[in-house]
C-alpha cells in the first residue's frame, strides 16, 4: 500500500495527528508481528512418533503430550487389566477424570456404578467421571484426550496404589 492508495482524508488526519501510516514501523516490527500471527494460527498437535513423554508401566505404555490443558495419550495395553485396585482412595473408588478417545484396535470395558460399557475398534468414546477400566483385550490401542489436572489427580492415586502393591502392602 502506498500513501496514494489511502482513502481521501486519511492522510490528512494522520498528518494532523503528526503521524503518517508508516511512522515507527520497521521491517523488524513487521517480521515479529508476522511470526506471532503464524504461531497463533498453528494448531498444537502430537503423534505417536512426536510424543515427548513415554510412561511405561509394564503392560501399559503411554506416549503422551500436553496440549492446551489436555493430555493426549496413545495407550497400548499388552495384557488384560482390571484397574479396580488402583482406584482405591479416589472418590467412590472410581476415576473422576473424564476422557474422550478413539479405539484404534481391540476392546475395553468401563464399569460405572450402574452398568458396564464396552468400547471396541473404530469407536469414538466419551467416558464420564465415575468409571473403572475393568477389562481389555491384549493388544488394545486407544487414543485419549483428558483434562490434564484431573488426570494428574487420578494418576497420583493410581501410582501410589501400584507402588503399595509392588511393595507387598495392601493399603
pLDDT of 102 reads 98
Neighbouring CB atoms inside 10 A of 7's CB total 7
Judged against a pLDDT cut of 90, whether residue 75 lies above it is answered with: yes
pLDDT of 73 reads 98
Judged against a pLDDT cut of 70, whether residue 100 lies above it is answered with: yes
Judged against a pLDDT cut of 90, whether residue 65 lies above it is answered with: yes
Q: Quick one: three-class SS letters along 95-125?
A: ECCCEEEEEEECEEEEECCCCEEEEECCCEE
pLDDT of 31 reads 65
Q: pLDDT grade, residue 27 (50/70/90)?
A: low
pLDDT tens-digit map of 136-145: 999 999 999 9
CB 132 within 8 A of CB 95: yes
Judged against a pLDDT cut of 60, whether residue 96 lies above it is answered with: yes
Q: Looking at per-residue confidence, does 16 or 120 come out higher?
A: 120
What pTM was computed for the model? 0.72
pLDDT tens-digit map of 33-57: 666 666 667 888 999 999 999 998 8
Q: Looking at per-residue confidence, does 22 or 148 come out higher?
A: 148
By CB atoms closer than 10 A (0-12, 13-18, 19+), residue 71 is buried
Q: pLDDT grade, residue 28 (50/70/90)?
A: low
CB 106 within 8 A of CB 137: yes
Amino acid at each position: 500500500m502506498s500513501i496514494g492508495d489511502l482513502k481521501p482524508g486519511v492522510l490528512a488526519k494522520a498528518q494532523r495527528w503528526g503521524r503518517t501510516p508508516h511512522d515507527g514501523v520497521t521491517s523488524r516490527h513487521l517480521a515479529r508481528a508476522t511470526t506471532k500471527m503464524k504461531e497463533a494460527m498453528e494448531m498444537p498437535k502430537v503423534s505417536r512418533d512426536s510424543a515427548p513423554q513415554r510412561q511405561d508401566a509394564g503392560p501399559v505404555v503411554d506416549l503422551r503430550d500436553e496440549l492446551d490443558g489436555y493430555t493426549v495419550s496413545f495407550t497400548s495395553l499388552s495384557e488384560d487389566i482390571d484397574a479396580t485396585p488402583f482406584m482405591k482412595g479416589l472418590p467412590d473408588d472410581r476415576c473422576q477424570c473424564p476422557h474422550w478417545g478413539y479405539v484404534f484396535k481391540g476392546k475395553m470395558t468401563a464399569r460405572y456404578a450402574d452398568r458396564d460399557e464396552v468400547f471396541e475398534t473404530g469407536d469414538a468414546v466419551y467416558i464420564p467421571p465415575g468409571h473403572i477400566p475393568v477389562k481389555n483385550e491384549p493388544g488394545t490401542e486407544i487414543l485419549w484426550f483428558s483434562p490434564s489436572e484431573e488426570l494428574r489427580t487420578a494418576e497420583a492415586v493410581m501410582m501410589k496404589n501400584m507402588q503399595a502393591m509392588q511393595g507387598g502392602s495392601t493399603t
